[in-house]
Amino acid sequence: MFSLKHEINISGDIETVFKALVTREGLKSWWTSDVEARPEVGSKAVFGFFNHETLFTMNIDKITSGRIEWTCIDGPEEWVETKQTFELEEIESGITKLKFTHSDWKNNDGAFASCNTTWGHLMVILKEYCEGLEPGPYFK
């Protein structure tokens, strides 16, 4: 299995970053404007792209103040059964380290490389959003 990994420091407290990752409003502000999500373990989050032509459904596996885990249960074949993990750590007052992993890819060809690039860009947009800028979602 293969994994994508990203790490970024955000000038914001853990609660701000946490809300950006678990609430519908937060997710809509940096990833895609087409989101249905609830911050509840066992719930399903649906992310729409390209006028709802492409859908990803994530099972919300874990939510704690320092760790959020999702498993893709429906969407493009390469994504199904992959896992997204967000780990949050306060490294100093007002600075949160975000470690992101998109794991359990069956191979590292196909969409793997482009997803890695996209996740990297998304981490920057998430950082900007949490730092009070209004970059808007990557996908509108």
Residue 16 is given by DSSP the state: H
Average pLDDT taken over every residue of the chain: 96
**Over the stretch 65-83, which tens digit does the pLDDT of each residue have?**
899 999 999 999 999 999 9
Which ranges of the chain would DSSP assign to H, the alpha helix?
14-22, 24-30, 112-130
Q: Contact, 70 vs 62, CB < 8 A?
A: no
Enter the tokens of residue 52.
């709802």
Taking CA atoms, 84 is separated from 32, 95, 100, in Å, by 16, 22, 7
**Over the stretch 124-134, which tens digit does the pLDDT of each residue have?**
999 999 999 98
Taking residues 82-100, report their average pLDDT: 96
Per-residue confidence (pLDDT) for residue 11, from 0 to 100: 97
- In one-letter notation, the amino acid at residue 30 is W
Per-residue confidence (pLDDT) for residue 50, from 0 to 100: 92
Cβ contacts of residue 20 below 8 Å, gap of 6+?
26, 27, 29, 30, 126, 129, 130
Per-residue confidence (pLDDT) for residue 63, from 0 to 100: 97
The CB density around residue 95, as the number of other CB atoms within 10 Å, is: 14
CATH class of the domain whose range is 2-130: alpha beta
Confidence at 37, pLDDT banded by 50, 70, 90: very high
Find where tokens 């429906």 sit: 74
Per-residue confidence (pLDDT) for residue 35, from 0 to 100: 97
Angle at 42 between CA 38 and CA 48, to 5 degrees: 50
Residue 76 is given by DSSP the state: S
pTM of the model: 0.95
Per-residue confidence (pLDDT) for residue 140, from 0 to 100: 87
